[in-house]
Amino acid sequence: MLIIPLEREFGWTRATVSFAVSINLFLYGLSGPFIAGLMDRLGIRRVMVTSLALVATGVALTTLMTASWQLALLWGVVVGLGTGTMASVLGALVANRWFTERRGVVLGLLTASSATGQLLFLPLLASMVVRFGCEAPCCWWPASRSSFCRWWPC
Amino acid sequence: MLAIDQTTLTRSLNLLERDRVIERVPHPDGRIKAMALTSKGRKALEAARPLWARAQDKVLRELVQRHGLTRNGGWPTCFESPSRSAGGVGPEPCPAQARTKRRPLMSIERRMRGRVHYGWIVVAVTFVTLLAAAGIRSRLGC
């Protein structure tokens, strides 16, 4: 969604942006088993709060970035690891811990939530790009022109 | 065997181990964590057993007195509605006194029945979190 705006804004090549995305995907997938172990050891609540804080920090800091390695670090490593916690592992753990009879229903619901998230957010972001310009959905840097960007929390 | 959550059990065992009431002992199967009582633990158990029995006794006695529950399994021996035992088979209808005194337990149960199970709240929170995470990730097209 925001690959092209990023390219236009910073003059990065598609490979640069894709590199951050692939780090993100790699860590998102790889962290699953480790995070499940961490949740067993420390408790789901603590791990979730930590990773949500991590994601929020990472996403907020992307608005201040100036170089492409910062995108790789923030979007790739920080957001990748943070959202890795909120993958299907979490759904399976919750369904397993709280339900016996309706485990299937709950697992299905929680798996569907990821797809629902994309389904909801993609059109929303797309319409924002169309209506307010390319920087609107995230205002990648604070000096963005419109006043909408200045208070839009990323 | 124990109806305890895994994390709860681990935490309780760690506390017991910290106080040197139990200790880890090696087990030939590496996947199994074996624990044994230390001498201190055995002494503590001996001291605790009569206390535990007395507490158990007290609670059960009060339940029987106040709510007309029996010691075996805690179920009442009488029917609440007299019409159901009209045939003369099964438990006797409750005396009027017992019926009114059993009300506290009944009302708690009724209140609990209407409420949503806490698990569903957990599911709702998890659902929103997963949804938001997917939304964040979708921003850079993946």
The answer to whether A1 contacts B140, with C-beta atoms less than 8 Å apart, is: yes
Nearest by CB to B123, from A1, A79, A110: name it. A110
Looking at residue A144, its pLDDT comes to 44
Domain for residue B92, yes or no?
no
Which H helix or E strand runs over A84? Answer: helix A79-85
Average pLDDT, chain A: 76
Q: Residue B51 pLDDT more than 90? A: yes
Looking at residue B83, its pLDDT comes to 45
Strands (E) located in chain B = 22-25, 34-37
Q: Residue B102 pLDDT more than 60? A: no
| Number of CB pairs, chain A paired with chain B, less than 8 A apart | 97
Domain for residue B60, yes or no?
no
pLDDT band with cut points at 50, 70 and 90 for residue B87: very low
The answer to whether A97 contacts B140, with C-beta atoms less than 8 Å apart, is: no
What domain range includes position A137? 3-151
Average pLDDT, chain B: 73
- The more confident residue out of B58 and A17 is B58
Pick among A22, A98, A103, A120 to test the B interface (most B CBs inside 10 A): A98
Average pLDDT over residues B109-113: 57
Domain for residue B63, yes or no?
no
B123-139, pLDDT tens digit by residue? Answer: 888 888 888 888 777 76
Looking at residue B142, its pLDDT comes to 40
Residue B131: list chain A partners with CB under 8 A.
113-114, 116-117, 120
pLDDT band with cut points at 50, 70 and 90 for residue A143: very low
Residue B6: list chain A partners with CB under 8 A.
40
What's the pTM value of the predicted model, to 2 decimals? 0.52
B52-77, pLDDT tens digit by residue? Answer: 999 998 888 888 777 665 555 555 55
Looking at residue B62, its pLDDT comes to 83
- Which residues have CB under 8 Å from A18's CB, separation 6+? A3
Task: Let me know: does A90 contact B126? Beta carbons within 8 Å.
Answer: yes
Q: What's the CATH code of the domain at B7? A: 1.10.10.10
What domain range includes position B42? 1-50
Q: How far is CA B124 from CA A52, A106, B8, B10, B128, in A?
A: 16, 10, 23, 27, 6
Domain for residue B55, yes or no?
no
A18-32, A80-94, B25-39, B95-109: least confident range: B95-109
Q: Give percent of chain A above pLDDT 70.
A: 76
Q: How far is CA B92 from CA B65, B68, B77, in A?
A: 18, 13, 7
Looking at residue B113, its pLDDT comes to 59
Q: Note whether A63 contacts B: Cβ–Cβ < 8 A.
A: no
Backbone angles phi, psi at B25, to 5 degrees: -125, 145
The answer to whether A28 contacts B6, with C-beta atoms less than 8 Å apart, is: no
Q: Residue A149 pLDDT more than 50? A: no
Closest CA to A44 of B37, B120, B36, B125: B125
Q: Give percent of chain A above pLDDT 90.
A: 0
- DSSP designation for B81: S
Looking at residue B106, its pLDDT comes to 57
Measured CA to CA, the distance from residue B80 to residue A80 in angstroms comes to 60
The answer to whether A1 contacts B139, with C-beta atoms less than 8 Å apart, is: yes
Q: How far is A9 from chain B (nearest CA, A)?
A: 14
Q: How many domains does the structure of chain B reveal? A: 1
